[in-house]
Chain A
């Protein structure tokens, strides 16, 4: 499976009579970080769940690494890491146990070493044996990121990763995302937090009412300019 990490052509999704995505065209190149902005209800989560192969589109075409996503989902899942609104870790298990469980599912052979390295990377090496139930929101979010990186995916899909984090945790997460980008991971990050996302973006896009309404190449991505564009897009389409 070779080809660009992501090519979406006219992706659409309806829930009953409601159209959530009305034809999204989006491409992501290797090593690129695309920040997807949009107000609540714009369709960001639905788009990310489709790209993570959790949800089937009702229209359009999705190519992941050059393969039709509808045809080879198991092989493609090995190359995708997804962090949703929740951390997808069992609260009664420790961080190390959660990662060991997912390592078994992904068939990772050198799991203990990789888990230890990831816990350290996420700043959780001292808390790795504590149950996840006792974690703060920031610790949970870092664990979710470690879980998504466990199988060393080429494409990382992050849905509102800054939500509920304090400024220190945001700064740390921004740094970690920059490290991942430098390591060659392709990242699609959905958020409505322009100021936090702009510094890490190589490209920005605004999703509004199920369509990409604005795309910026990321050069000179000043937060004030993006906020102005964001407000203009959202206001003119209300």
Chain B
């Protein structure tokens, strides 16, 4: 746990100092939300059904950009060798990187969610606690899988192409669950979203445990 916290603190410090990941994610997030909402120009009645698609499409695309950078930090100057020669359980590296990705993605969501509400003229405040729960579960599931595949992609050529190719097909169940849960929350409230939330929670547990167990095989030669 101590090692994972050290890695989390180090990643956040670097991100805060450079703001490279945050700024690119912010710009892309705003652009996607603007394009997707302006393209559809929904009425107040159709906005709650459009919002989940806008929200999660923007989140996945910006998130891909963010998680790719998390492992590029370790490639520069071969810092990964520094981590792997320290007396760490590789699972601690996974946990630290996962936590850093969750924080970065949460910042992305903090930008994308209000903008989606703004552009679609949706009052999200009454639904905010339930919406935050869906976002958190979606965030952790996405980050669990993306952290594992982000580490894998840094070891191959054409890594910018490989990460989406490997990751997106496996994210389909998560995205279906997230979109269904978000729509249910916006239309009916938290109780109506139980099915989607169950899918998200199951996805989170399965891929966080898989990442924890498999990470050592992914990062070591």
**Chain A 80-116 near chain B by CB (<8 Å), digits 1 or 0:** 1010111111111100010001101111000000000
**A102 touching B79 in the complex, CB below 8 Å, given contacts A49-B221, A55-B221:** no
Residues of B within 8 A of A54 (CB): 81, 84-85, 220-221
A93 touches B78 (CB 8 A): no
Contacts of A55 in B (CB 8 A): 220-221
Do the beta carbons of B77 and A87 come within 8 Å of each other? yes
**Shortest CB–CB separation between residue A145 and chain B, in angstroms?**
13
**Chain A binding surface SS class:** loop
Convert B4-17 into 0s and 1s, putting 1 for each residue whose CB lies closer than 8 angstroms to a CB of A: 00100010011001
Q: How large is the interface on B (under 10, 10 to 19, 20 to 34, 35 or more residues)?
A: 20 to 34
Q: Does B88 contact A (CB under 8 A)?
A: yes
With an 8 A cutoff between CB atoms, is B89 at the interface?
yes
Contact B220 A90 (CB under 8 A): no
Q: Which residues of A contact B220 (CB under 8 A)?
A: 54-56
Q: Which of A82, A104, A105, A132 contacts B81 (CB 8 A)?
A: A82
A77-B87, A80-B85, A88-B78 in contact; A104/B14 too (CB < 8 A)?
no
Interface centre among A78, A104, A105 (most CB of B within 10 A): A105
Q: How far apart are the CA atoms of A49 and B78 in the complex, in Å?
A: 13
Q: Is the CB–CB distance between A90 and B79 below 8 Å?
A: yes
Q: Report which B residues bind A (CB closer than 8 A).
A: 2-3, 6, 10, 13-14, 17-18, 73, 76-79, 81-89, 220-221
Known: A52-B85, A54-B81, A55-B221. 15 other contacts (CB 8 A): A54-B84, A77-B87, A84-B81, A86-B78, A88-B81, A88-B82, A88-B85, A89-B77, A89-B82, A90-B77, A91-B76, A92-B14, A93-B17, A105-B88, A106-B86
